[in-house]
C-alpha cells in the first residue's frame, strides 16, 4: 500500500552509547506522529538493542543488507530468517554502495529481494544512476534494467510487498541533491513504467527519494506528487535533523 515514509540508513556508523542517545532523542521527537511510517536501518550487531528500544514505539527497525542464501557455508553472511529473529520488517537491498563497492549486480540484488520477501520482510529496493550515466543520457535505461531484473525473478506483483528508493549515485553523501523536478521526473518514470504492466501495483507503490536529503530541502522534495518520502543517510545520524525531515513529511 502506498504510504508516506521516512527511513534512516545509518550505514556503517554508530556504537552502543551513541545509538542510545540518538534513538532516545528520535523516539521523543516523533512521539505521537502516526500518519507517516518511520524506520531506521541499522548495522546488524545493533539490531537487538535497537529492537529493544523501539518496540512499542511508532518507529520500525530494519537492516541494510542480507544474504541471498537461506543458510549454509556462507561465512560472514546474514540470512533473512536471522533478521526475522530480531523482528526486522524491512531490509535495504541493492544500495549503490553495495552495487559499486561490493560488486552486487542486478541479478544478485534480485535474489536478495526475493530472499527478503520469502521471509516476509519488505525489501527497500534501491535504484539509481551514476553521474556518468546521467550525463550520457542513460538514466532511464539504467533504472529500467535495475527494476527489470527484480520483476523478471519475482514478478511485478511482488512490488506490492516492496518499497522502491530512487537514489541517484551522484547525490549520495555529496551534498548535491537532485532538484525536486529531477527527482520527480525519475519517480514518475518508475511509476509509469510499472503501470504499463500493472496499474494497481504502480498506484500502490511507495517510492522514496534518497541522496543528500536535509532538513532544509526535505519539504520541497516531499511536495512532489510521486515522491512518497525519503531514505536518509547522513542526516539520519543527527537526531534533530532526522526529526525535522520526518516532520517535513508529516506536514
Ligand atoms: P545521504 O543522505 O548521506 O546522501 O545518503 C543517502 C543514502 O545513501 C541513503 O541510503
Domains of the chain listed by start with CATH number: 5-250 (3.20.20.70)
Task: Count CB atoms within 10 A of the CB of residue 203.
Answer: 11
Give the residues across from 63 on adjacent strands. Answer: 91
Which residue do the cell numbers 500500500 mark? 1
Nearest to 66 by CA among 54, 55, 81, 53: 81
Ligand 1 binding pocket mutation candidate from 232, 236, 242, 245 (most atoms within 8 A of CB): 232
Mean of pLDDT values over 34-50:
96
Does the beta carbon of 210 lie inside 6 Å of ligand 1?
yes
Ligand 1 atom nearest 212 alpha carbon: 4
Ligand 1 binding pocket mutation candidate from 211, 213, 241 (most atoms within 8 A of CB): 211
Nearest to 142 by CA among 109, 117, 118: 109
Residue 176: the pLDDT is 87
Ligand 1 atom nearest 126 alpha carbon: 10
Residue 35: the pLDDT is 86
In this predicted structure, the answer to whether residue 89 has a pLDDT above a threshold of 90 is: yes
Does the beta carbon of 168 lie inside 6 Å of ligand 1?
no
Residue 95: the pLDDT is 98
Residue nearest to atom 7 of ligand 1 (CA): 233
Residue 61: the pLDDT is 98
Does the beta carbon of 234 lie inside 6 Å of ligand 1?
yes
Name, in order, each residue with C-beta under 8 angstroms of 45's C-beta and a sequence gap of 6 or more: none
In order, the DSSP letters of 62-120 are EES---SSSSSS-TT---HHHHHHTT--EEEES-HHHHHHS---HHHHHHHHHHHHHTT
Say if residues 209 and 166 touch (Cβ distance below 8 Å): yes
Does the beta carbon of 176 lie inside 6 Å of ligand 1?
no
Interatomic CA distance for residues 125 and 113, integer angstroms: 7
Does the beta carbon of 167 lie inside 6 Å of ligand 1?
yes
Cα 104 to Cα 76, 204, 246: the distances in Å are: 16, 28, 30
Considering the chain, what is the average pLDDT of its residues?
Answer: 97
Q: What percent of the chain has pLDDT over 90?
A: 96
Whether 167 is a known active-site residue: answer yes
Q: What percent of the chain has pLDDT over 70?
A: 100
pTM of the model: 0.98
Ligand 1 atom nearest 97 alpha carbon: 8
Q: How far is the CA of 143 from the centre of ligand 1 (A)?
A: 18
Q: Which of 97, 111, 167, 187 is catalytic?
A: 167
Residue 251: the pLDDT is 74
Q: How far is the CA of 13 from the centre of ligand 1 (A)?
A: 13
- Please write the tens of the pLDDT for every residue from 169-224: 999 988 888 999 999 999 999 999 999 999 999 999 999 999 999 999 999 999 99
Interatomic CA distance for residues 168 and 181, integer angstroms: 13
Name, in order, each residue with C-beta under 8 angstroms of 211's C-beta and a sequence gap of 6 or more: 128, 167, 168, 170, 171, 172, 174, 176, 177, 178
- Please write the tens of the pLDDT for every residue from 92-149: 999 999 999 999 999 999 999 999 999 999 999 999 999 999 999 999 999 999 999 9
Amino acid at each position: 500500500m502506498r504510504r508516506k515514509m521516512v527511513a534512516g540508513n545509518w550505514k556503517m556508523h554508530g556504537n552502543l552509547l551513541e545509538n542510545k542517545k540518538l534513538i532516545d532523542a528520535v523516539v521523543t521527537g516523533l512521539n505521537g506522529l502516526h500518519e507517516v511510517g518511520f524506520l531506521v536501518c541499522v548495522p546488524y550487531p545493533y539490531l537487538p538493542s535497537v529492537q529493544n528500544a523501539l518496540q512499542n514505539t511508532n518507529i520500525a527497525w530494519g537492516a541494510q543488507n542480507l544474504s541471498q542464501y537461506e543458510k549454509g557455508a556462507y561465512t560472514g553472511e546474514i540470512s533473512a530468517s536471522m533478521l526475522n529473529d530480531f523482528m526486522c520488517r524491512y531490509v535495504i537491498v541493492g544500495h549503490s554502495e553495495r552495487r559499486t563497492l561490493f560488486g552486487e549486480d542486478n541479478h544478485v540484488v534480485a535474489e536478495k529481494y526475493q530472499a527478503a520477501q520469502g521471509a516476509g520482510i519488505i525489501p527497500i529496493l534501491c535504484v539509481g544512476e551514476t553521474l556518468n550515466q546521467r550525463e550520457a543520457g542513460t538514466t532511464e535505461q539504467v533504472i529500467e534494467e535495475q527494476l527489470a531484473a527484480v520483476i523478471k525473478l519475482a514478478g511485478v506483483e511482488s512490488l506490492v510487498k516492496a518499497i522502491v528508493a530512487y537514489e541517484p549515485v551522484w547525490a549520495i553523501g555529496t551534498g548535491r541533491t537532485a532538484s525536486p523536478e529531477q527527482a520527480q521526473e525519475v519517480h514518475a518514470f518508475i511509476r509509469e513504467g510499472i503501470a504499463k504492466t500493472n496499474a494497481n501495483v504502480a498506484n500502490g507503490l511507495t517510492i522514496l527519494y534518497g541522496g543528500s536529503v536535509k532538513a532544509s530541502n526535505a519539504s520541497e522534495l516531499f511536495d512532489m506528487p510521486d515522491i512518497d518520502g525519503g531514505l536518509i543517510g547522513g542526516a539520519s545520524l543527527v537526531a534533530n535533523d532526522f526529526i525535522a525531515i520526518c516532520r517535513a513529511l508529516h506536514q
